[in-house]
Structure 1
Amino acid sequence: MRHETVAIVVVTHDRADLLAGMLDGIAAQTRRPDAVIVVDNASTDHTGEVLAARTDLPLHVITQDNLGGAGGFHRGVRAAYDAGWDRVWLMDDDVVPAPDCLATLMAVDEDCLIAVREDRDGALVEKAAIEFDLRNPLAIRPKRSTVDSVYADRASMPELVEVHNVAFEGFMARRGVVEEIGFPDPAFFIFYDDAEYAVRARRAGRRILAVRDAVLVRQLDFNQQHDLSGWKGFYMYRNLFVVHLRHGENLLVRLKPWLITLVVVLLSPLRGGRAEARNVIRAMASARGMRRLTDAARPPR
């Protein structure tokens, strides 16, 4: 392979201490990145001081209003694309790559890759789906089996495992992928922007491979439970619905958000209450307006 350049895109908001540890991990890479683009979503803590001190990295800082993880990754990928880098590696501020993580990924000649996450004790916590089902209308959750549900530990994994969705915590894509499918959709704000991007990549014929020996250490407990009656619940419902409306492989799957809305409303006296019912109704109404990819996320021209 020819020598390829790579830009790392990091999105952060008010987690300066985690960001500092993450940047330490980048600085320790055996393969130095060509650029580190940090998108600061209007942090109010000492994030600015942490970034100003990193004279050891090829740092490019973008400060913007808090547009969520989706808006941050959209801005960062667009900046990396406009700068002409061959690959872009997306990371949140709460992960730390092992020193050879970037070198290991760059050695794999594939368009879409993910590093494999573990917790601070070394336990496998990679939640990327080995099966993401947008065909079966009876599958309430499209994410079926995951890497850490199929494999007991990293040692039991093959060197490469094909996955169907990703988290923007260690996902790497080549420039040609962005040219063909576009950018992460900023309209998602949080949740499912990474899953939707993976669906687009796979629909364009790209495999997504989890690279066993590319180690990414998650600094926080992996807690996917959220209050569905709170503000995050609105985005979880809405963006899940958008993925089904955009990418459902048959009519019944595309109708599933309506069924979920009905069931949640009917069961709201027993669980979730009026707040969750309001969230899911608002989510369904908003998702209908997002059935098509937003203009900002479309391929560059």
Structure 2
Amino acid sequence: MKICAVVVTYNRLELLKGTIEKLLTQSRKLDEIIIIDNKCTDGTSEYLKTIEDKVTPVFLDENLGGAGGFNKGIKIAYEKGHDYIWIMDDDTFATETALENMLNKFNIVGKENIGFMCSNVLFKDDKACVMNVPTVDSVWNDYVTEGLVKVKNASFVSIMFPRERVKEFGLPIKEFFIWGDDTEYTLRISEKYASYMSIDSIVHHHMKENVGVDIINGDTARIGRYFYEYRNKFYMNKKRGLRGAIAHTKYTIKSILNILSKSKDGKGKKIKVVLNGYFKGITFNPKVEHVN
């Protein structure tokens, strides 16, 4: 049984070093660690060239965002024949038994019955990491006594896919660039296969603050990234037909009204980003890429 970790990184060298160190000291040893370097400019590329112990760096010619990075990394891991592909961001510090505990849970339910398995993601202070709380299924407790919670979707901060699921469902949509690629991909899988969070597979997400994303109070200098939220969410909602399109339109209008009434600055810029994402989403229709 071959197991690979895939880490996507962009200009966070010191955090990446910690992520790699935690992966190399897992109680269940990894067969390979693939690092997708999204055209880093902070010395990451030079550092990765000095590592030899199970670490395989992949240097991209351009920054493909998280979505493109995970698309590339999962594809490479699959083509190399790995049976399980464990993916995460470059600021994810896995506890020593995170991998071992996750693998043990596959044996409880049966690998053939599981879509994906995610970790219990905590902030640096051991409290739940707000950005990485998965959406719990309506019937979530069928294996709760075994330490499993059934979920519908989860973030790409410590989540594992059996190669059979990658073969069946393809890859994350690289055109998303950022935002929603994890939600879309995990929902794609959990619609057919039961998927779970292993509560004793613990990782710490080393974000600066334990807060969610919020265009109303978000950093004005980074408002441009919200374009991808409104564009990509439109794509996902359109899968539900006219009802989904109407729901996304209502969501967009509500966002604009909240910006007007609650934002302290940059109202015009924020509304422009929201509308740009919404209108681009009308025709945004990327195709799912499948592995050979």
Q: TM-score, normalised by structure 1?
A: 0.82
Tell me if the contact between 2:148 and 2:198 (Cα under 8 Å) persists in the aligned partners: yes
> In the aligned structure 2, how far is the partner of 1:290 from the partner of 1:120?
37
For residues 156-192 of structure 1, the C-alpha deviation after alignment (integer angstroms, 9 at most, x for no partner) is 9860001111111111001111111110001111111
Out of 113, 116, 119, the residue aligned to residue 117 of structure 2 is 113
Q: Which amino acid counterpart does residue 291 of structure 2 have in structure 1?
A: P
Preserved CA contact (<8 Å) 1:119 1:217: yes
- 1:52 corresponds to 2:46: no
- Structure 1 14/37 Cα, relative in aligned 2: closer, same or farther at 3 Å? same
* Pair 1:285-2:283 in alignment: no
Residue 232 of structure 1 aligns with an amino acid whose one-letter code is R
Show structure 1 runs of 5+ residues with no match: 133-146, 148-155
Matches within 5 A, 1:229-240: 230-240=223-233
Aligned residue number for residue 213 of structure 1: 200
Structure 1 residues 234-292: Cα deviation after superposition (integer angstroms, max 9, x where no partner): 1122222222112x3x642332122233344566543552222222221122212234x
Equivalent residue, structure 1, for 2:268: 274
Alignment-derived partner of residue 150 in structure 2: 162
1:21–1:253 distance in 2 versus 1, CA, 3 Å: same
SS at 1:107's partner residue? helix
How far is the alpha carbon of 1:218 from its aligned partner?
Answer: 1.5
- Cα deviation, 1:66-111, whole Å, max 9, x if unaligned, reads 1110110011011111112111111100011111111222222233
Paired residue for 1:259, among 247, 250, 265? 250
What is the rounded CA distance, in whole Å, between the counterparts of 2:61 and 2:154 in structure 1? 25
Q: How does 1:123-134 map to 2 (within 5 A)?
A: 123-125=127-129, 126-131=132-137
SS in 1 for 2:85: strand
The code of the aligned residue for 1:29 comes to Q
The equivalent of 2:6 in structure 1 is 9
Q: Which letter maps to 1:46?
A: G
- 1:122 corresponds to which residue? 126
Contact 1:40–1:63 (CA<8 Å) still a contact in 2?
A: yes
Mapped partners of 1:62, 1:124: distance in 2:
33
Structure 2 unaligned spans of 5+: none
TM-score by length of 2: 0.84
Hey, what's the Cα distance between the residues in 2 that align with 1:16 and 1:128?
Answer: 27
The reply on whether 1:86 has 2:83 as its aligned counterpart is yes
Alpha-carbon distance, 1:58 to partner: 3.8
Q: In structure 2, give the amino acid aligned to 1:176.
A: E
Residue of structure 2 equivalent to 1:298: 289
- Which of residues 215, 236, 243 is equivalent to 1:243? 236
SS at match of 1:108: helix
* Paired amino acid for 1:257: H
* Aligned-partner Cα distance in 1 for 2:258–2:68: 33
CA contact (8 A) 1:37 1:62 kept: no
Question: Identity of counterpart residues, as a percentage?
Answer: 26
The equivalent of 1:96 in structure 2 is 93
More helix, by proportion:
2
Farther-moved stretch of structure 1 (35-44 vs 213-222): 213-222
Matched to 1:121, the amino acid is D
Report if the CA contact (8 A) 1:182-1:298 is conserved: yes
Structure 2: which amino acid aligns with 1:280? V
Between 30-39 and 251-260, report the one with greater CA deviation. Answer: 251-260
* Matched residues, number: 271
1:261 corresponds to which letter in structure 2? Answer: T
Task: Give the equivalent residue in structure 2 for 1:31.
Answer: 28
Structure 1 stretch displaced more, 260-269 or 122-131: 260-269
- CA distance, structure 2, for counterparts of residue 61 and residue 300 of structure 1: 18
CA displacement 1:44-85 (0-9 Å, x = unmatched): 002123312322234243333111101100110111111121
Q: Distance in 2 between matches of 1:68 and 1:171?
A: 18
The 8 Å contact of residues 29 and 99 in structure 1, kept in 2 or not, is answered as: yes
Letter in 1 for 2:95: A
- CA distance 1:66–1:290, change in 2 (3 Å): same
- Match for residue 177 of structure 2? 189
Aligned position for 1:64: 61
